[in-house]
Structure 1
Amino acid sequence: MRSVRARAALGATVVVALALIGAGISVLLVLRANLTGQAELRAEVVAREVAGQLALDVPYDRLETRDEDEYPVQVVDEDGRVVAVSKDLEAISGTGTDRVVPAPSAAPGQGSGSGSDDGDDGDDDLADDDGGTPARGEVDPDDPDFTDGTATVDGESADYRFASVRATTSQGVTLTVHAGAPLAAEQEAVGTVRGAMLVGLPVLLLVVAGVTWLVTRRALRPVEDIRREMAAITASEDLSRRVPEPDSRDEIARLARTTNETLTALEASVDRQRRFVADASHELRSPIASLRTQLEVGAAHPELLDVPGAVADTVRLQALAADLLLLARLDAGERPGRTTLDLGALVREEVSQRVGDRIPVRVSVPDSGDFEVTGSRGQLARVIGNLLDNAERHARDSVTVSVRTAERGDVLVEVTDDGAGVPADERERIFERFVRLDDARTRDDGGAGLGLAIARDVAVRHGGGLTADGAPEGGARFTLRLPAAG
């Protein structure tokens, strides 16, 4: 059962089967109850008719019953003796006594002019006794008792529903009339319905299973197409391919669109990684080649060794390796620290260490401001240093760094210079890795195009951001935004 189609078909079949079985049992119970109720009503009518005659002191041999072959009647007295039975009743059960032959003597006062004891009464359909003209008696008005039983009438046995009604004669004799209504119609109806259910249920379940299988197969066909295409992409390593998107607007269509979006992001990430490796290799090749050349020349001609140049290439190589290592850690998802620090104090500290800058940096940090942020002190110091390095590289006469609080409570660090500025259409591209504008494509100052990319990545991972725009006095302005601590 590893197939979704098989599990869906089995689940639907089991649910429908349980529902149909429950509904079928309910129908059979209701049908049986209704038909049994009708049989009880017929039996009660017959029993009360006979009981009414007994209450009027009608002699036993003159009792009249409807359809004696269909409704068997048995009359017993208080002692449980049978005093009268219907015609052709040969056996009975379920009434408390199985006797079908009336007792030799009946209750006193029954039947005038019928006191003959020639012996024929025992074989007659209704037993008789001496009688008279009785006064009017009564029939028990309470609901009768109902029981199930069997009876044999004229050689045919069947199941009956018996109603027991009590009647009192004018002489105070209490008699109980047991009248039965046949259950053959009820049994036949219930059997017919049960048989139809037993035949129709398997067929219906097969139909449900088949339809569910086909519908599920059709619904999951796009999923199989997506799986097949993903397998082909994995085998070919061609991330430019996309899975087919169905025309429907259901969950499968959304799955296909999300898969394609994931493939697009993955392709962009792989391309970015490839460019990163290629650019890093290119950037590393230049200082390594220069350093090797200088060392080879120094080995052959010691007097020609350019020690300051070799040191500069080594420093540049070390800085580039540190940048690449930091980017690798950021790409690996390294989370910044949770240290609370004063960003204004950090800016003053970073500026105070830049004693060899070409242009002195002017600092504007209010003494009364609250500039606490949460993050990694080393990474945030790296961001400020990169921004100042970038401003020093492009400024003509001045570099300014200021710290202030924004309206939303964020802490802003602004670094401005009076250089040529950044063109509006290049203000996002400069934050890409290894990107340098045309006027900055020189390696004399050690720039590899990673400083601004690192600064933005660190800012984003601290919950903030880094943007570039034009300064009011000309040049470029870089704004670092970080959420305030707490």
Structure 2
Amino acid sequence: MRAPRTRSLSLRTRLLLIGVTGVAIALLVGGAGFYQALTVSTDRTLDREALTSANEVALLVDEGRLPEALPTTGSQLVQVVDAQERVIAASLGADRLVPVLTPVQLQRALTGEAVVVDGARIGSSGPLRVRAIPAGPATAPVRVIVAVQVGDVLAARSALRTGLLVVFPAVLLVMAVVAWVVMGRTLRPVEQLRAGAERIGADGIGVGRTAGGPGAPGVRADPDARLPVPAAADEIRALALTLNGMLDRLSAARERQRTFVADAAHELRSPLASMRVQLEVAARLGEGGDLPAELTPELARLSALVEDLLLLARSGADAPVPPHPEPVAVGPLLADVAADVPGRAGVRVEALPPDGDPTVLADPAELRRVLVNLTSNAVRHAGSRVDLDAVVAPDGRVVLRVTDDGPGIGATDRVRVFERFARLDDARSRDAGGTGLGLPIVAELVARAGGEIVLTDGPDGGLRALVTLPAPG
């Protein structure tokens, strides 16, 4: 089911549409009501004056003393018509030969209806509003007709309609502009809350907008960052305080979790080291048969897992950033890592000399751990070779590249592999050679260094890891 189109509009736009629509309806109803009320009031006034004049003339007819010129009010035209439709008396300016109304129109007027005619019948220059009443004795009945020129009235009404049609849209436009500005200022704290929430990353890893696509880890968030609290004592301030309280509780829970993992990993190091020594001694003395040889690799993997957990706990989002990173020469470091990372049968690790002498600003031990983890991961999945090299980006930063010719990783999984203990369904799923924490550690350490990491396709297939780090100065 498709969502309504208005849901894609911003809150500011929706509020403006609602407000403008409401005001437009109010103006339309109010304007129509005002115009109708003014029209009815004007017509009633004209009819009342016409009937007053008609009754005065009817009284003169009943008294048998019709003057030569019948009395009128304003621009009225008055005629007295007999049963044969002949004009027997008229006011000054009224036609004394042709009645204002035709017989059919006269019958309508005698029923109490106000009849509007164009006036052409009597040579009038504009429309006339006509009322008529019966008068005289039953033996000699007559009709008193009073016509009022309404050309000016109709012109005024037309001007009023035009004015309303012009003024109302102008009022709506001005109101919309004012409302847009006012709502923008009113909703500014909400936008500040949204921007603040966007800046607060989860677990110290933000969103990197790089070649790896949305969601690539690498932008370090401030774990102590909180949403801005508006000064006004309104609902938005209450919302900001509530959300900040929630962030405080989440931060405290994350700190408790980090402390627990660090303490547990630290406490496990000594027993595991002792067990490993005992197994090595037993294997050297030939005790326990093949059991020491079988358990020693598993114990080594468990020890590596504990060390990784401890490192993650110590380098999490709330761990301090190294206060004094050092300039690190990239070329020697790549060669050193390529020489130290153990390969496997049929897989060669090679460090390609970079152009120039690029240098990055980072903690040497942590940067080495990043490259060792990436290279070890590449060795486990490579087909025949793993290459390490570096290039200088156009913005001056240095990009370290670890490339293998293995099966690669699907684009949809290139962010998920940085999650702890992530499992993939393809050939690069976590195997017995890894702890499932290598890439999460890489992401943490790269973020601590102020860099970013992205996974892309290799130039000849496989996977390429791009670690972008700042250069000194």
- Superposition TM-score, scaled by structure 2 size: 0.49
User: Whose Rg is larger?
Assistant: 1
